[in-house]
């Protein structure tokens, strides 16, 4: 029995040029990395969305590769990985972003 979704995906893949293929690859690789991060560190949906600064309604698209990823999303994923590795290894986590925003706000700049 053929899976209709897979057959549809195969048809689409056959229409892609190199640029579209590479774009799709990046989307799926980002989704895979996000899923691996979430699973490896057993991050709750709520914490995951908070760390990524995305609404919970966008979580499924983020994890499936259909999200419109931004440079901030890539940076946050990288930061999250470092953060959770440090937590796992008992290393104190310093929230660089929040501290620098606090400094900017108190300096009036």
pLDDT band at 102; cut points 50, 70, 90: very low
Alpha-carbon distance 78 to 84, whole Å?
10
- Tell me, what's the pLDDT at 37? 96
Alpha-carbon distance 82 to 88, whole Å?
10
Tell me the Cα Rg of the chain.
Answer: 18
More confident site: 33 or 104: 33
pLDDT band at 108; cut points 50, 70, 90: very low
Q: What pTM, to 2 d.p., does this model score? A: 0.76
- Tell me, what's the pLDDT at 96? 55
User: Is pLDDT of 103 > 50?
Assistant: no
- Tell me, what's the pLDDT at 91? 84
**Using H for helix, E for strand and C for coil, what is the string for the chain?**
CCCHHHHHHHHHHCCCCHHHHHHHHHHHHHHHHHHHHHHHCCCCHHHHHHHHCCCHHHHHHHHHCCCCCCHHHHHHHHHHHHHHHHHHCCCCCCCHHHHHHHHHHHHCC
What is the tens place of the pLDDT at every residue in 10-66?
999 999 999 999 999 999 999 999 999 999 999 999 999 999 999 999 999 999 999
Alpha-carbon distance 13 to 21, whole Å?
8
User: Is pLDDT of 1 > 90?
Assistant: no
Place of tokens 């290393």: 91
């Amino acid at each position: 029995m053929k899976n209709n979704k897979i057959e549809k995906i195969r048809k689409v893949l056959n229409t892609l040029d190199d640029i579209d293929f590479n774009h799709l690859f990046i989307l799926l690789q980002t989704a895979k990395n996000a899923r691996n991060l979430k699973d490896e560190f057993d991050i709750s949906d709520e914490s995951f969305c908070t760390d990524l600064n995305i609404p919970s309604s966008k979580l499924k698209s983020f994890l499936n590769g259909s999200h419109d990823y931004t440079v901030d999303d890539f940076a946050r994923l990288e930061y999250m990985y470092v953060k959770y590795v440090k937590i796992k290894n008992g290393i104190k986590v310093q929230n660089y972003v929040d501290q620098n925003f606090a400094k900017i706000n108190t300096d009036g700049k």
